[in-house]
Amino acid sequence: MSQYADFPTLETARFVLREFVQQDIDAVFRGLSHPQVIAHYGVSYATLDDTQEQMDWFRQIVAEQSGIWWAIADAGTPEVLYGACGFNDRHHEHRHADIGYWLLPEYWGHGVMRECLPAVLDYGFGALALHRVAAEVEPENVRSSALLADLGFVHEGTRRECEFKEGDFLDLADYALLHREWRGSGA
C-alpha cells in the first residue's frame, strides 16, 4: 500500500518503476549487502535490521521533497525487485539533483538501467523541472561511466581521493546532464 497517494509510477516497455514498500526490504538488503553491488556503491548494510534505515530514507526524501527513488520491477511481476534508481540531494532553488542507481547482479547485462534511467530522467526534467542532474562514479566502474555517457552525461572531472571507503581514499568522477542536452526517452 502506498504511503503517498500521488507517488508517480513510471513504466517502460519491460519494467515498472514503483514506490518502495516494506515487503521490499529483503531484496534491498540482498542488493545493498551483495559484494558486487556495493563494490562501487556508497551505501551498504550488514544486517536486515540495519536495512530499515534505507527503507525509511526512501520515504523520508519523498516527504521532504529532497528526492525520489523507485523500486525497479518486471512489468509482469511488480512485486519482484530488480534494483533501484532515483534522485537525491535535490536543490529546488538551483533545480539540481543527483541521480543514483543499483541493480542485483543477476540482472546485469540485460539493459535494465539503459531502459529505466531515461524514464527517470524524463520525470526529473519534466515533472521535477530539474535543470541539471549530476552523478558520481568510481572511475573503476567503467560500465556505469559508459551508461552515463550513452545517456548524454558529460564527464566534468575527477575529484582525487575525495572519499574514504574500506580503509582507502578513492577518486570520484563527476558527470552531469543539463535539461537542454537531454534527448528524452525516445533517444
- CA triplet 175, 72, 44: central angle to 5 degrees? 65
Domain annotation covers residue 64? yes
The pTM for the full model equals 0.93
Domain annotation covers residue 23? yes
> Which residue would you say has higher pLDDT here, 185 or 84?
84
Q: If residue 16 lies in a helix (H) or strand (E), which one and from where to where?
A: strand 15-18
**Which structural domain range is residue 87 located in?**
10-181
Domain annotation covers residue 5? no
Domain annotation covers residue 53? yes
- The three three-digit cell numbers of residue 3, written as one number: 504511503
69 and 87 in contact (C-beta within 8 Å)? yes
Domain annotation covers residue 1? no
Q: How confident is the model at residue 184 (pLDDT cuts 50, 70, 90)?
A: confident
Domain annotation covers residue 137? yes
Residue 179: pLDDT above 80?
yes
Per-residue model confidence (pLDDT) at position 6: 85
Domain annotation covers residue 165? yes
Chain segment 3-47, per-residue pLDDT in tens: 545 899 999 999 999 999 999 999 999 999 999 999 888 899 999
Give the number of C-alpha atoms closer than 13 A to the C-alpha of residue 52, restricted to the C-beta side: 2
Residue 186: pLDDT above 70?
no
Chain segment 94-138, per-residue pLDDT in tens: 999 999 999 999 999 999 999 999 999 999 999 999 999 999 999
Domain annotation covers residue 152? yes
Domains of the chain: total: 1
> Which residue would you say has higher pLDDT here, 104 or 185?
104
Residues 6+ apart with CB under 8 A from 133: 87, 96, 97, 98, 99, 121, 124, 125, 153, 176, 177
DSSP codes of every residue in 140-168: T-HHHHHHHHHTT-EEEEEEEEEEEETTE
- The three three-digit cell numbers of residue 69, written as one number: 527513488
Per-residue model confidence (pLDDT) at position 166: 83
DSSP single-letter state for residue 8 = P
Average pLDDT in the chain: 93
Q: How confident is the model at residue 185 (pLDDT cuts 50, 70, 90)?
A: low
Nearest Cα neighbor of 153 from 129, 104, 127, 187 is: 187
Per-residue model confidence (pLDDT) at position 5: 59
Say which amino acid occupies 62. Answer: V
Task: Assign residue 176 the CATH number of its domain.
Answer: 3.40.630.30
